[in-house]
Each structure stands twice: as C-alpha cells, then as structure tokens.
Structure 1
C-alpha cells in the first residue's frame, strides 16, 4: 500500500530514513541540554540573532530545527514552489509540522540541545513546548526578532518571488505574516510570565535591543519588558534614508511581480494593498525633505493605476490622493494603520 504524504506512517519513515540524520548527524546529547526558542514574524530577519545564538552556545551543540526548511521533504515541493506557489504552504504544512514534532520528540528523548525557529504565532503551542522541555530538565531561553512591519512585509514578498526559475521562492500567505505580526508580542509576554524561562532577548536586524535573565532567586534581573520592546520596534517609523531605500526596493519587487505570469491576482491583493499603504507612509516620511518625494509619489500613483488595471474590479482600494497628509487607501476603507494595527 502506498503511504499518503503527511500521514503518520509516511512522516515516521521520512524522518527515520532522511530527516533525522540531516538534522542530528554530527551532534551529541548533552548532560545539561538547552532549548532556545527563536521567533518573529515571517521575514523578520532572524539571521543575525541566529548567528549570535549559535556563537554563544557552541558548547551546547544546538540542533537547528526550522519548520519552513522541513517543507522541502515534501516530494512535490519544487514543483509546488515553482508552478503552484499559492498551494505550496497548505500542501506542505502537514509535512513541516509533522517532522518538527518528530524532531522535537527525538531531541527530548535523547537530550539534544535545540534551536527551534518559528513565528511566535500560537501562544499555546509555544508556551507548551517551553514548558514541556523545562519540565524535562532543559534550560529554556527565548529570542525574539523585532522588525518594522513594512520591512518584513516587503522582505516576505522578495522571498516569495525567489531568485529565478532555478531558485523558486517560498510564498508566504498574507495572513501568515499579519497574524504573526499581531500575535508575536502576546506570545513573548506569555513566555516572559513563565517561571521556567531563564533568559529573554529581543534583537532587531541590526543589534540586540533587550536582554533579561533570572537571578538565583528566580526573579527577573530587569523589568520584564521584552514584549513592549518587540512591539515598539515593530511599529517604529523608518528614518528617511531607509524609507527612500524601501521605496526603491518596493519598485523593484513590483516590477518582478508584474513579470511573473499570473502572480498579481486575488492571492496577492492583500499584500500589495498593504504595501501600497506602507509606501504612502514612506512618502510621508520623505515629504518636505530634499529626497524627490514628488517623483516617488508619481511612481506610487502609477503603480496604483497599474494594480487597478490588473486586478478584478472592486478588489483593490481606489488610488490615494495627491495630498500626502490625507489618509491612506486602507484608512479610507476602514483599515486602521495606526499603532498596534500594523500587526493586523
């Protein structure tokens, strides 16, 4: 009988024959194992934090487990990523989730130290994993990566488009980014409240922003404000130079999206609507500065017209007004872009 992809039997076989060695070969069980939970919205830019964690925990011999990477064990991953990118996330989710579970079970049973990367979207799952490992005698640390919403949103789209036909992208559904953005601070707050979390850190893409550890009495050495630090950075306005570069990158991304047959449509409308509102924010930042805001505004308006032409009628908000001080398209249609709603 042929096993169904993603079934318990299929997952067990793939884990034992392929994934287990790929993940654990070269690593050794530890007498005092560590679990490091690394999280942030998709495309937050976890690389710097990941390097810092691995450098600091060399002696702990961390096994890196990343759910997104495990999607590639799906036998149809490359075809899905190249020819059916909008189907790929849902089709590969059972494989990714199932292999993560088996990998964590294997690590816990044999006491391997683990660096587990995720999006901090589900508080029950994340706190449950932390508690499970802590109760098994692991030291549990948390690292969150904080990135302004427009930056990660655009980076996710860059990643979705890939690097060409031989390097397919990995499409991120808009709701995956937005729900993680909205929920990550709450998950971090829940983790901060757990008595068995030994250390909490927050990184931006550029530097460490916050570091807190428990003292000998089990109390935090500093006020536990990791969640506040994360949310503040996610909502931070970009400086003018960065805003100008963001607009250039956005133009490049949109040009690539236009060249990709069938890419601009119902599946990508939410992302490009938000990116248009993000672009309006960047234009406000540049308004009144010697950074050619009128030229950039005209480009923004041309892009809006192009989107309206390409997408089905009524699926995209009307183009923004010329006055940079007026509300964005999303605000005029009931989408609040102020404050915490950047995480929606």
Structure 2
C-alpha cells in the first residue's frame, strides 16, 4: 500500500484513538520494552493502576496491523502477517507519538526495544519536550517467551479463529536488544527512571532512578536483567506452568508450529530434570 492510502486510514481512525485525552502541564511518558510474549501489557496495567487519575494514549504497534484493509486475509498466513502489516504498525506508532508530543498527552509506548536507537530517540524527544520519562522492561528467559509465542498464537486461534504469530527473528533480536537499549538509556541519562520486572510482570526486580543527574545504582541494567533471567531459569514451579500451558495447546496444533513447540518443550523439560537432580525439592511439613 502507498503512504497516501495509509494516511487516509490514519486520518479516519485518529479521532477514536485520541478521544478523551487532555493536554498536561507535566506530561508523563512510559516506554515499555521486552521480547514478544514477555508480558509487557501487564506493565501497562501496572502504570494505569499507579496513576488512577490520569488518562494515557496507549501506543502499541501490533494493534494497528488490523487497520490494514486486507488484514483479515493476511492474518491467515501467520508467518508473513507481521511483515506485510509492518508499515501500518510503524506509521501509526510514529504519528501517534508526534500527536502526544504536540498536544502534551500522557503516553505509554509498548515496544520490544530490539533496536536501541528507537527507544533512545523516543526518550530524547519526550525529554526535550518537557515530559517526565520512565522506561520499564521485562526480564524474561528467551525460552519462556519463545514458547509463549506459540502458545499465545494457538490460544488466540482457539478463542477467535485467527492468531498472530510474532516474527521469530524479531523475538531473538529483542532478547539481546532490550539489554543494549536499557544500557543506552542509562548511559545517556535520557530517562528519569528505569524499572525492571520479571516474566509477565509478576514481580518488581529493581528501580534505577536519577537524582542530581546521578543514578542510584552503579551497575548497568543489562547486568540485572541477565542475573534475573538466570534466576528465573531456576524457578521450577514457573517452568512447570509454562510446560503445562504449552502441552495443553499442543492438542489443537499441527504442522511446523507444533513441531517447533514440541522441540522447545522438550528442551525446557530437560532443563527441569537437570534442576531436579541438582536442586532437589525440600519437603514441607
């Protein structure tokens, strides 16, 4: 599709996307990061709970893929859907961020942070326009979220007949990209705060906060992310839940996607067996 056609769609949808938003004297910007299926939407819910009196423009590129005129046909091939709708995702995201800056709206931007330049430039733009800026990221082991890609896809199919499968290459690049992005935000000091949460946003891990242009912790965010990922890979109960969820979805899967999930579940099951041998469970009385 040409840019002119995309602009027409955006112009039609914009009013609905921006409704009920009001300019702020001190606007807030939250930039979310983490690989696909890590639980970033739970971070957005946390922000909203912590700011019950505020309204936010919520920007998530995946939402805008459905505005493609041929989205219903394109989604039938989950392997190419993301690529063929990417132009809608990018255009809507960029334009909505511009609207937030111009009108000083509170905003939450959800992304993967796979390319450090994107969150860095976004944070700079917000800061230069008088926003208070926070970055929040999910620390999740790669195998947890890769399994999550397939299980989420099948759950969507079971629920609504179609599902979106995130690009696996984008997933892999985000695993390392989020580390580099957080370190860039830290080193350039373009955000006021960096918060890290565990897989699915279950628990808060650490908060980096600037005071007098100095961070409260003299350690890179990537180090905390890596440490947390390793720690979660020792959480037997969480691993068991992920395996059970995946096995349940296998019952309604077929083809290449099913084989990919089987391989990943086998890998995680072997890891769990090794954990049981090296760290046997204690008995509760």
Normalised by the length of structure 1, the TM-score is 0.74
Q: Bigger CA drift: 9-18 or 225-234?
A: 225-234
The gaps in structure 2 that reach 5 residues or longer are none
Kept in 2, the 8 Å contact 1:212–1:224? The answer is: no
Partner of 1:48: 42
2:39 match: secondary structure: coil
How far apart are residue 270 of structure 1 and its match?
6.1
Q: Of 185, 202, 209, which residue of structure 1 is paired with 2:205?
A: 209
Partner of 1:284: 274
Counterpart CA distance in 2 for 1:230 and 1:247 is 23
Partner of 2:216: 221
Kept in 1, the 8 Å contact 2:239–2:268? The answer is: no
Partner of 2:164: 170
Kept in 1, the 8 Å contact 2:33–2:138? The answer is: yes
Higher relative contact order (CA 8 A, sep 6+): 2
Partner of 2:177: 183
Q: How many residue pairs get matched?
A: 276
Kept in 2, the 8 Å contact 1:247–1:282? The answer is: no
Partner of 2:117: 124
Counterpart CA distance in 1 for 2:182 and 2:173 is 14
Counterpart CA distance in 2 for 1:69 and 1:239 is 32
Q: Of 29, 33, 38, which residue of structure 2 is paired with 1:39?
A: 33
The 5-angstrom pairing of residues 1-344 of structure 1 reads 5=1, 7-18=2-13, 20-81=14-75, 83-161=76-154, 162-164=156-158, 166-204=160-198, 205-215=201-211, 217-236=212-231, 237-258=233-254, 263-264=255-256, 273-287=263-277
Normalised by the length of structure 2, the TM-score is 0.88
Aligned-pair Cα RMSD in Å: 2.2
How far apart are residue 269 of structure 1 and its match?
6.5
How far apart are residue 171 of structure 1 and its match?
0.5
Counterpart CA distance in 2 for 1:127 and 1:25 is 28
Counterpart CA distance in 2 for 1:159 and 1:74 is 22
Counterpart CA distance in 1 for 2:23 and 2:225 is 33
Counterpart CA distance in 2 for 1:194 and 1:61 is 29
Q: Which has the higher helix share?
A: 2
1:120 match: secondary structure: coil
How far apart are residue 130 of structure 1 and its match?
0.9
Counterpart CA distance in 1 for 2:227 and 2:168 is 22
Q: Relative to 1, partners in 2 of residues 1:80 and 1:287: Cα closer, same or farther, differing over 3 Å?
A: farther
